[in-house]
């Protein structure tokens, strides 16, 4: 108990600068600083990744409780899947035979596929990225922290032993300088024995400290392996994200193509409106047979032309049509009597019929 109090007192004296403190070498200090930095940033990345994968704090708490109770959390439907289900239910209510109901069903099916892809991404990311980070924080880091605390306690013990030996040497030196002829031998004998005991305790404390310092050093050097492991996990996380976003992109492209094949009231109205404007501009009221239309003879009207963005690549079926490349901009217009599914498209000095469903008409 006396020795324990001496350690506490020595720790206070160190803080006050009145006692000797055993310093660790610079390499050891750098290892500890690197370990602290790794722990702090790993914790921040882990927490923010949790928020990214599950923005709902209540859901995160629920998953945490299930994990601590060692029970499997129930499968949670994603927001996209829930939206898709609502759209499908609405489509059935509105009648699948209507353009709106049919489109709702198609979009709802796509949203459910997006939700399924999201759930797969969440599961993959949790296993390949979140779990290794949590294992480090709850496993390796706790071991490192435990050994560091033990090292610090042994350092305080070592410093206490140094203080005891120093005080014993000072007392022995004072007794030798001021001898008492009646009690010289007994007092010197006691002081000498006290100094010898302090030296023995110091050697034991130094040995234990050195042994613990080596154990702690090895654990701290293992942080490099932790970085390598986390690097691999980070690559897997990126691959999971890339795969997820690629799936989403493909699903949306398929949806766009599917919707392009459905009747589109807005596109048809725009086409009919352009046809009316074109007819008024040309002063023509009689329809034209598009089967006998000669593209090279078609002239753009003075008014009524519009810009359009191409949604998908299109290969012309014959010389009367114009091939298209996705994302390019072309000029489009109509001529009286043309099929509402087609427009005349111009790109530079090239001209030909283009399908309306492959275009996004710009204002």
Greatest alpha-carbon span in the chain: 142
In a domain, 4, yes or no: no
Q: Is the pLDDT confidence value at 278 over 70?
A: no
Residues facing residue 361 across a β-bridge: 308
Instruction: Write out pLDDT tens, residues 42-74.
Output: 999 999 999 999 887 877 777 777 777 777 767
Separation between Cα atoms, residue 153 and residue 158, nearest integer Å: 9
- Residue 315 burial (CB count, 10 A): 7
Q: Which residues contact 97 (CB under 8 A, 6 or more apart)?
A: none
Separation between Cα atoms, residue 233 and residue 58, nearest integer Å: 27
Which string of DSSP letters, residue by residue, matches 218-257?
HHHHTHHHHHHHHHHHHHHHHHHHHHHHHHHHHHHHHHHH
In a domain, 310, yes or no: yes
Contact 22, 163 (CB under 8 A): no
In a domain, 268, yes or no: no
Looking at the fold, whether 132 and 209 belong to one and the same domain comes out as: yes
16 vs 169, residue with greater confidence: 169
- Percent of the residues in the chain that have a pLDDT greater than 90, as a whole number: 48
Q: Is the pLDDT confidence value at 149 over 80?
A: yes
Looking at the fold, whether 237 and 93 belong to one and the same domain comes out as: yes
Quote the distance between the C-alpha of residue 197 and its chain's center.
59
In a domain, 300, yes or no: no
**Structure token pair of residue 345:** 């498209």
What's the domain range around 145?
24-261
91 vs 21, residue with greater confidence: 91
- Strand 306-310 relative to strand 350-355: parallel, antiparallel, unpaired? unpaired
- The CATH number linked to 123 is 1.20.1270.60
**Structure token pair of residue 256:** 């766009």
Tally of domains within the chain: 2
361 vs 284, residue with greater confidence: 361
Q: Is the pLDDT confidence value at 272 over 50?
A: no
- Of 202, 237, 261, the one marking the end of a domain is 261
Threshold 0.85, pTM exceeds: no
**Structure token pair of residue 266:** 């807005």
87 vs 186, residue with greater confidence: 87
Looking at the fold, whether 310 and 257 belong to one and the same domain comes out as: no
In a domain, 290, yes or no: no
**Structure token pair of residue 188:** 């010197």
- Mean pLDDT, all residues of the chain: 82
**Structure token pair of residue 21:** 């403190």
**Structure token pair of residue 192:** 């000498």
- How confident is the model at residue 298, as a pLDDT? 77
Residue 286: pLDDT band with limits 50, 70, 90: very low
- The CATH number linked to 349 is 2.30.30.40
Contact 119, 228 (CB under 8 A): no
């Amino acid at each position: 108990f006396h020795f324990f109090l001496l350690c506490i007192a020595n720790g206070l004296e160190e803080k006050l600068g009145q006692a000797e403190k055993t310093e660790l070498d610079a390499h050891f200090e750098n290892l500890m600083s690197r370990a602290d930095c790794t722990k702090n940033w790993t914790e921040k990345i882990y927490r923010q990744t949790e928020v990214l994968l599950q923005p709902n704090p209540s859901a995160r708490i629920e998953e945490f409780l299930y994990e601590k109770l060692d029970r499997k959390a129930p499968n949670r439907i994603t927001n996209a899947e829930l939206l898709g289900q609502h759209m499908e239910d609405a489509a059935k209510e509105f009648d699948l035979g209507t353009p709106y109901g049919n489109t709702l069903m198609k979009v709802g099916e796509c949203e459910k596929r997006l939700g399924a892809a999201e759930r797969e991404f969440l599961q993959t990311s949790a296993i390949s990225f979140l779990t290794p980070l949590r294992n480090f924080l709850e496993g390796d880091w706790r071991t490192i922290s435990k050994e560091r605390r033990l090292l610090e306690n042994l350092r305080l013990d070592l410093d206490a032993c140094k203080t005891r030996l120093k005080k014993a040497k000072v007392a022995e030196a004072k007794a030798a300088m001021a001898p008492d002829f009646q009690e010289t031998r007994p007092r010197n004998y006691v002081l000498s024995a006290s100094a010898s005991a302090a030296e023995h305790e110091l050697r034991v404390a130094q040995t234990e400290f050195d042994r613990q310092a080596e154990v702690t050093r090895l654990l701290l050097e293992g942080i490099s392996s932790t970085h390598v492991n986390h690097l691999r996990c980070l690559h897997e996380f990126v691959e999971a994200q890339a795969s997820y976003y690629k799936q989403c992109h493909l699903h949306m492209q398929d949806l766009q193509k599917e919707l392009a094949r459905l009747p589109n009231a807005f596109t048809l109205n725009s086409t009919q409106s352009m046809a009316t404007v074109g007819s008024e501009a040309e002063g023509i009221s009689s329809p034209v047979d598009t089967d006998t239309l000669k593209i090279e003879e078609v002239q753009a009207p003075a008014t009524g032309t519009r810009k359009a963005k191409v949604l998908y690549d299109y290969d012309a079926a014959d010389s009367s049509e114009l091939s298209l490349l996705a994302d390019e901009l072309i000029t489009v217009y109509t001529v009286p009597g043309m099929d509402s599914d087609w427009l005349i498209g111009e790109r530079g000095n090239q001209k030909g019929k283009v399908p309306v469903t492959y275009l996004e008409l710009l204002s």
